[in-house]
A and B are shown apart, each in its own frame.
Chain A
Amino acid sequence: MKRLSRYRRHKAVGPALLIFALLAIGTTFSVASATTTTQTTKADRSALIEEGRQIFLKGCSSCHGLNSEGGVIAPSLVGVGAASVDFQVGTGRMPMADMSTQAMRKEPLYTPEETAALAAYVASLAPGPEIPTEAQLNYERDGSTAEGGELFRNNCAMCHNFAGQGGALTQGKYAPTLMGVEPKHIYEAMVTGPQAMPVFSDKTITPKEKMDIIKWIKHAESEPNLGGASLGRVGPVTEGLLAWTFGLGILIGVAVWLAMKAR
């Protein structure tokens, strides 16, 4: 007893206790909050939603309102679903950096965990489109490239161009390139209709058809250019430019050399 009380008054006790308490709380907290993607208990889910709400309040509420009710500069997020959030935040479009014509794809600000938390929070506000499951994204096995091409040309090429390179909309808006986009995000975009893009309901383009489209887009992305350098896959404009600059240019160069007197 006496030995214990002797050490209790050691000048190193204060800092040592503090460090011990911090370590204890920290480890307990991280162990307790470690989430696995499969079995999330109801308590975990509410923790996720709460985390999402905190992130939302800090990074999104200034435009989208404290209760996601929307405002002058940003729409309401009630009912947009987890898919919308996963798409917008996952592609870096949100938070929107430049309040110009439309949100631009860029490096995501939030980690995948934070994105999941945000998505859970927004999904908790009202029912909406959900993040696609693995079964819905198994396009390699279940999708058809040829059918996907047909669907793509019917529903997507008019905005995104025949090879998914993107295209112009009115007033400076644009349909972005589909190259280098995660399959999950392609699916979510079709389902949620971000900004100017319309919604492609699951009844008019079924989940299987959505997989076909994703498979075709991924094929177009990986298909090497079979005839030479692609010139952007945008058609005759770049071809004409090349014909005048390199084609005629080289030939005029040779013509000048031809007519020059030899030394």
Chain B
Amino acid sequence: MSNEIEAIKDPGLPAHVHRKADHDPVAARRAERQVAAMFMISALGTVLMIASFFIPDDVFVFIPVMGNQNAHQLGLGLGMGISLFFIGMGAIHWAKTLMPDQEVIAHRHEFRSPDSDRKEFVDTIKEGAAATGLGRRSLIKRTLGAAIGLSAVSPLLLFRDLGPLPGNDLKETSWKSGTYLVTDPGDRRIRASDLEVGAVAQVLPETADPEHRKLNDIAKDAVLLIRLRPDEFNLDAERLSWTHEGIIAFSKICSHMGCAVALYEQTTKHLLCPCHQSTFDVTRAAKVIFGPAARPLPQLNITVDAEGYLVARDPFYEPVGPSFWGRISS
């Protein structure tokens, strides 16, 4: 198509346009002064930076729009910014106005090597390969392959102790039969009567050493307690028996990707996970009604002891938290 049609000719590089500073010494001096001024501003910026270093960090200045700003931080950063920026501006302005701006043409050489070089390269490789004798000595070739292959794989074994095997760890939490529910923070046992209808409580299992809870345990044990009116539930008989006088307990660890699901909407009885907006219906045992979570939050079977404190009747009936390959299988 267009290869056959004659294209418009290349008129060549446009004529060079001289800058003011090229022919007018006054303009050149002005440009020089401008560059010098920029370098001077940079120096002032450095002075500001050095001075700001010694401002105590409880001094604040009011800047319009931004409000009260920490003087030390602001001065240090502005000083640094100015000192660097104007070195750059000065250098660029210098290059633009005073350094030669005549465009230069360089040639591109073809990358392809001359055929003779290519042939020599191929020959060198061929001769070298033949000199190893690998072609004839298949025993060497095979055992070399085995040696290198094995030695490359074996160091992977050294990484075995990066971590323990998961075993049943992902399927177990600290919740056992009779574990008391305690407030988080505070570690106080909770009575059913402590919660009003519409109330929530952040809960952890009671532990012997509440001052030193491990994050690993919290990551599986965190539970959310919600109180509804008993008639608001839409549960089968078994799940209803896991509640107590309208109080229902769920694992707080999202079944999608493990964020804490603690956002309870009292009006709709929905739980919202703020990470990916999975929405769970509390009245239907945290069934997923919106968002990417595929499973409801595991419900904890709770009851009260003789004194009215809430306890877990059983451990969680399924693993809490995000899914994994062997989640259901034993």
Contact = CB atoms under 8 A, between A and B. Distances in A.
Direct touching of A and B (C-beta under 8 Å): yes
A227 B274 CA distance: 26
A167 B275 CA distance: 12
A170 B262 contact: no
Nearest to B201: A204
Interface stretch (A17-25, A190-198, A240-248): A190-198
**Interface secondary structure of B, over-half rule:** mixed
A167 B270 CA distance: 16
A47 B270 CA distance: 42
Contacts of B186: 206, 209
A262 B100 CA distance: 11
Given A150-B185, A203-B190, A158 B260 contact: yes
A170 B67 CA distance: 33
B119 interface: no
B92 to A, nearest CB: 5
Interface in B48-78: 60, 65-70, 73-74, 77
Nearest to B274: A158
B274 A170 contact: no
B96 A262 contact: yes
Contacts of A203: 190-191, 194-195
Interface in A123-172: 147, 150-151, 154-155, 158-159, 167, 169-171
**Interface secondary structure of A, over-half rule:** loop
A169 B272 contact: yes
Contact of B67 (A201, A204, A224): A224
B263 A199 contact: no
A11 interface: no
A262 B199 contact: no
Interface string B265-279: 111101010100101
Contacts of A155: 202, 262
Interface stretch (B17-25, B39-47, B162-170): B17-25
Interface in B79-99: 92, 96-97
A193 B68 contact: no
Interface of A: 147, 150-151, 154-155, 158-159, 167, 169-171, 173, 193, 195-201, 203-204, 206, 209, 224-229, 254, 257-258, 260-263
10 contacts: A173-B267, A195-B267, A199-B196, A201-B196, A204-B190, A227-B70, A228-B73, A228-B77, A229-B67, A261-B96
Given A155-B262, A196-B266, 14 more contacts: A154-B184, A154-B202, A158-B274, A170-B272, A197-B266, A198-B200, A199-B197, A200-B199, A201-B195, A203-B194, A224-B60, A261-B17, A262-B101, A263-B19
